């Protein structure tokens, strides 16, 4: 039986470092599993993951969706299977091949309209695409609304990112409540990011969500964000990379003996 991809979906409140952690996951997987086929999907309409990974985005899934809308408005009447094949070809063309991983961006949120079947085709193609990889990392939209429903119906690992704030921790608990009904995940866990030395860790309640790692504020990353550098230039002993490695070990994606 063919092994299914490990699909990691990263989400949480906006402004807590979600995209940086998603980018570091790609970096760690690439460095520690050099033979693995890795796909990074940017499902956040801000397309911030591309900047963090140092990727240029020539075309997004939403660009492809719009092209199908244009065909429909122009009177395109071909059968659904033909449209599906076209979508698969265009999405393969939209894949960016980077050093040790592939990347694709979903683009802006779907607008309301009458193209549900087209959006469904594209969702199916993304699912098919994921079968070609060993690891799929999805940087989802912030907040509760998406829970990656536009990209995958099922993820294996749901990673919820918060900062120490009560609001951030409430958001990830709300996301989990929604995900429990809509996402068929195997494992779920939280990362508490930007923890300061004086943060009272014992008071950072996350409800029934296990905390996989506490990550102290990373000054290197703050500087890199300002300078627009990719995470691949970060030192391997940066707090955020060490924290992500710990979380992936807790998820059993990395082995404990990995260094």
Residue 256 resides in a domain: no
Residue 259 resides in a domain: no
Residue 255 resides in a domain: no
pTM score, two decimals?
0.88
Q: Is 80 exceeded by the pLDDT of residue 75?
A: no
pLDDT of 252 = 95
Residue 172 tokens, joined: 């990830």
Residue 211 resides in a domain: yes
β-strands 135-139, 96-97 pairing: unpaired
Residue 106 resides in a domain: yes
Listed residue (179, 254, 234, 252) closest to 21, CA to CA: 234
Contact 245, 28 (CB under 8 A): yes
Q: Is 80 exceeded by the pLDDT of residue 212?
A: yes
**Alpha-carbon distance 26 to 19, whole Å?**
11
Instruction: For the chain, give the percent of residues with pLDDT over 70.
Output: 80
Residue 28 resides in a domain: yes
pLDDT of 241 = 96
Residue 19 resides in a domain: yes
**Alpha-carbon distance 231 to 175, whole Å?**
27
CB contact set of 180 (below 8 Å; sequence gap of 6+): none
Q: Is 50 exceeded by the pLDDT of residue 258?
A: no
Instruction: Give the residue-averaged pLDDT of 36-40.
Output: 96
Task: Say which CATH number the domain at 112 has.
Answer: 3.40.50.300
Which residue range(s) make up the domain with 239? 6-250
Per the model's pLDDT, the better-predicted residue between 111 and 218 turns out to be 218
Split into its structural domains, the chain has a count of: 1
Q: State pLDDT tens for residues 174-193.
A: 999 988 887 888 999 999 99
Residue 231 resides in a domain: yes
Contact 28, 254 (CB under 8 A): yes
């Amino acid at each position: 039986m063919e092994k299914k991809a490990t699909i990691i979906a990263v989400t949480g409140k906006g402004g807590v470092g979600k995209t940086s952690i998603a980018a570091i996951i790609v970096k760690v997987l690439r460095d520690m599993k050099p033979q693995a086929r890795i796909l990074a999907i940017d499902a956040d309409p801000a397309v911030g993951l591309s900047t963090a990974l140092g990727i240029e985005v020539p075309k997004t899934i939403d660009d492809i969706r719009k092209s199908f809308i244009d065909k429909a408005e122009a009177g395109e009447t071909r059968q659904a299977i033909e449209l599906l094949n076209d979508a698969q070809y265009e999405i393969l063309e939209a894949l960016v091949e980077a050093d040790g991983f592939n990347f694709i961006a979903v683009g802006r949120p779907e607008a309301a309209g009458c193209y549900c079947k087209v959006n469904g085709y594209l969702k199916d193609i993304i699912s098919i695409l994921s079968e070609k990889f060993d690891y799929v990392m999805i940087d989802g939209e912030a907040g509760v609304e998406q829970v990656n429903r536009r990209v995958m119906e099922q993820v294996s690992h749901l990673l919820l990112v918060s900062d120490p704030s009560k609001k951030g921790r409430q958001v990830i608990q709300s996301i989990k409540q929604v995900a429990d009904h809509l996402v068929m995940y195997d494992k779920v866990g939280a990362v508490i990011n930007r923890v300061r030395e004086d943060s009272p860790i014992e008071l950072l309640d996350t409800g029934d969500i296990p905390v996989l790692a506490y990550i102290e504020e990373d000054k290197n990353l703050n500087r890199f964000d300002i300078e627009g550098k990719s995470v691949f230039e970060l030192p391997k002993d940066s707090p955020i990379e060490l924290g992500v490695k710990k979380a992936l070990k807790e998820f059993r994606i990395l082995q404990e003996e990995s260094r």
